[in-house]
């Protein structure tokens, strides 16, 4: 038996923030294979320390017992250790069914029988990089942050397909899987797009999933032809490459925000219902806009999907001009 299996989290942002853990494991000589759901797998293909990525054939939210047994049978005898990053019971089933000797993770949802090296669940909402990195058996270190890299050929292919030149466009990621209480208003994005296009004469690419295509179309319609809608038209790996090659990125607190941070792209990130103390973009070239203290918002962070008061002042109060200034600072 050789190597270690990593059971990946199901969200893009969490996957990015697991990179420091994988870097630690690789540094001490562990040969890493990551088992991930298809929509997260491309993130791990941008991590050089990952030797293999296995895409799991499971539907979101379902146990899929037969499929898990089949996958576990295929993995039996290949690994000495497994690191289970999600806290659910079903995420710990494959290492247990595969008979992997060391099964490491947080206590989670009562996984006493499934994991034999369990860490106590931390209180509250800890920083996610530290949450994952501690699974290595060593405490988190100050300054650890995700780092990802693509081969130049990947960047060239993605930019060529999008009809743009490397570093000669802006990328906006205006959606957020969690809900509208995380989304800076479409009109603000459109205003910023118009301003950037007038200043630099370069296009703004609107990135995201198919679920965000309508939002992106709304922004583009108000942008006076500054924007091109690519949401739902690009695979995740291509969207990641377009972010990595962009002149600058603007986003909400989302998975693509963390992708931009891991590639070290100049970025401005607008926070609303969530907290940059929990999931900040970990990059020296990132600037965060959050109005909790400035507007004395006792409700922030609420972590709600929809603003309970219906005003989303934490988001509407962030002007396009302020985001433009933050992006200028990020670019230096």
Q: Mind giving me the DSSP string for 164-224? A: --TTSSEEEE---TT-GGGPPPHHHHHHHHHHHHHHH---EEE---GGGHHHHHHHHHTTT
Sign of the CA dihedral running 120, 126, 132, 133? negative
Two tokens, residue 320: 């396009």
Beta bridge partners of 43: none
Record the pTM.
0.93
- The stretch 226-232 carries a mean pLDDT of 97
Specify the pLDDT at position 295.
Answer: 77
How confident is the model over 151-209, as pLDDT tens digits?
A: 999 999 999 999 999 999 999 999 877 667 788 999 999 999 999 999 999 999 999 99
Query: Does 314 score more than 70 pLDDT?
Result: yes
The span from the CA of 230 to the CA of 206, in Å, is 6
Domains of the chain: 4-136 (3.40.50.2000), 153-331 (3.40.50.2000)
Specify the pLDDT at position 61.
Answer: 66
């Amino acid at each position: 038996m050789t190597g270690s299996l990593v059971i990946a989290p199901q969200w893009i942002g969490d996957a990015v923030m697991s990179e420091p853990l994988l870097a630690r494991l690789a540094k001490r000589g562990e040969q890493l294979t990551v088992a991930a759901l298809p929509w997260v797998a491309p993130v791990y293909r941008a991590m050089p320390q990952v030797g293999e990525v296995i895409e799991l054939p499971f539907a979101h939210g379902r146990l899929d017992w037969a499929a898990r047994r089949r996958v576990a049978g295929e993995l039996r005898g290949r690994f000495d250790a497994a690191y289970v990053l999600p806290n659910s019971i079903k995420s710990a089933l494959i290492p247990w069914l595969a008979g992997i000797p060391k099964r490491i993770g947080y206590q989670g949802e009562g996984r006493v029988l499934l994991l034999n090296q369990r860490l106590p669940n931390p209180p509250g909402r800890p920083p996610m990089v530290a949450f994952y990195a501690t699974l290595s058996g060593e405490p988190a270190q100050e300054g650890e942050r995700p780092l990802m890299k693509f081969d130049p050929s990947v960047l060239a292919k993605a930019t060529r397909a999008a009809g743009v030149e490397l570093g000669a466009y802006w990328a906006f990621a205006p959606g957020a899987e969690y809900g509208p209480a995380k989304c800076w208003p479409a009109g603000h994005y459109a205003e910023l797009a118009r301003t950037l296009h007038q200043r630099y004469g370069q296009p703004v690419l609107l990135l995201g999933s198919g679920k965000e295509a309508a939002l992106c179309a709304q922004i583009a319609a108000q942008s006076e032809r500054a924007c091109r809608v690519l949401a739902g038209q690009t695979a995740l790996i291509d969207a990641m490459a377009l972010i990595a090659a962009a002149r600058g990125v603007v986003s909400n607190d989302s998975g693509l925000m963390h992708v931009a941070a891991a590639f070290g792209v100049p970025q401005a990130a607008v926070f609303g219902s969530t907290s940059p103390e929990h999931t900040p973009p970990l990059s020296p070239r990132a600037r965060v806009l959050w109005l909790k203290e400035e507007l004395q918002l006792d409700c922030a962070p609420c972590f709600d999907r929809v603003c309970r008061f219906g005003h989303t002042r934490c988001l509407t109060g962030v002007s396009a001009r302020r985001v433009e200034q933050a992006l200028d600072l990020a670019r230096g």
